[in-house]
Amino acid sequence: MPVDLQRDDLCRRAGNQPGSSRALPKQLTQNSIPGSSRAPPPPHQTTTDTNDNTGEDPVDTSGQVHLNRLVWEGGVEFLAFLLNKAVPMALDQPVFYKDIVRLPSQLQEQWKKACQEELEALYKRKVFELADLSKGHKAIKNCWVFTTKSDGHKKARLVAKGFSQIEGIDFDHIFSLVVRYESVHLLLVVAALENWHIEGLDIKSAFLYGQLDEEIYLEQSEGFKIHGQEWKVLCLRQTIYGLKQAALAWWKELLASA
């Protein structure tokens, strides 16, 4: 996680090389107020920092003290500070949806296209439909997960935050598949002995096939809220990734088809 990396990096820099990290306290004094904007420091700031480095100014040392105090105390202020530091570091792959806007415009386009593709797939499968939230129900939050596949293809996946589901209301039985490597080995051995032909398949968005028995609502996906109907929620018909019962539902589908 970039956040952790940044924290390690930060601590190391704050602890070992106070001389080289003068850029930090300067930004800190500007951004460390809780609730302040989380926008990354604008690029021109670096230039002002290098200017500051030329002279020993009292602001610098007090900033260092302030930083040390923050690190020591931890808590919300420190967290806000870290968040400020962590986000601009995002590489070519966003962690959260909000990181996308900080990428170069070409990458932004590509990632947004990936999200669009995922949404289209969801609509095509009729996984959910727009509805009003019925009384007594709570919509589950969701988030985007981004990966770059080994062939360079950019993939976005809409994932429900399954940890907010309540047992007995949102799900009953769950189960997760665990592979027994013995069986994989055994089958491959048989294939070797009998000189079988082996072919591979990858099922696209397998979990989206699972049928859902419970009534579950999902918030509209971040960045793709339907204009004019922002208050509406998505009523799920089939399981999506991240729901607790997704694995079981998919497994049932698979067994039924066999």
Partner 1 sequence: MIYVDDSGFMRNNATLVKEKKKAFMGIWECHDLGELKEFLGISIRHSGHKIILDQKVYLTKVLDRFSMTNAVIANTPLPHRYTPVAHTGNPDPTLRTQYQAIIGSLLYLMLDTYPDIAFAVIKLSQFSANPSKEHFERAKYICHYLAGTKDYTMVFDGKTNEGLIAHSDSNWAADVNNRCSVTGYFFKLAGSSVSWLSRAQKTVALSSIKAEYMAISDCCYQAMWMTNLFREIGFHVLPIMICSNNQGSIFIGSNPVQEKQTKHIDIRYHYIHECIEDNKVSVVFIPGNDNLANMFTKNLDRLKFIKF
Q: Residue 151 interacts with partner 1 (CB under 8 A)?
A: no
Cα 84 to chain centroid, rounded = 17
Q: Residue 196 interacts with partner 1 (CB under 8 A)?
A: yes
Q: Residue 166 interacts with partner 1 (CB under 8 A)?
A: no
Nearest to 28 by CA among 15, 10, 43: 10
Q: How far is the CB of 163 from partner 1 (least distance, A)?
A: 20
- Considering only the stretches 36-44, 51-59, 76-84, 175-183, report the one whose residues sit in contact with partner 1 under the rule CB under 8 A: 175-183
Q: Which of 106, 195, 227, 231 binds partner 1 (CB under 8 A)?
A: 195
The CA dihedral of 143, 236, 114, 242, to the nearest 10 degrees, is: 50
Strand ordering across the sheet containing 128-131 = 128-131, 233-236, 217-218
Task: Tell me the two tokens of residue 31.
Answer: 């951004």
- Considering only the stretches 58-66, 129-137, 198-206, 222-230, report the one whose residues sit in contact with partner 1 under the rule CB under 8 A: 198-206
C-alpha span between 88 and 99 (Å, rounded) = 8
- Considering only the stretches 30-38, 53-61, 178-186, 219-227, report the one whose residues sit in contact with partner 1 under the rule CB under 8 A: 178-186
Number of residues engaging partner 1 in binding (CB under 8 A) = 34
Q: Residue 254 interacts with partner 1 (CB under 8 A)?
A: yes
C-alpha span between 58 and 168 (Å, rounded) = 60
C-alpha span between 118 and 72 (Å, rounded) = 43
Q: Which of 198, 227, 228, 231 binds partner 1 (CB under 8 A)?
A: 198
Residue 255 — φ and ψ, nearest 5°?
A: -65, -40
Q: Residue 135 interacts with partner 1 (CB under 8 A)?
A: no
Binding stretches for partner 1 (CB under 8 A): 177, 179, 181-207, 209, 247, 250, 254, 257
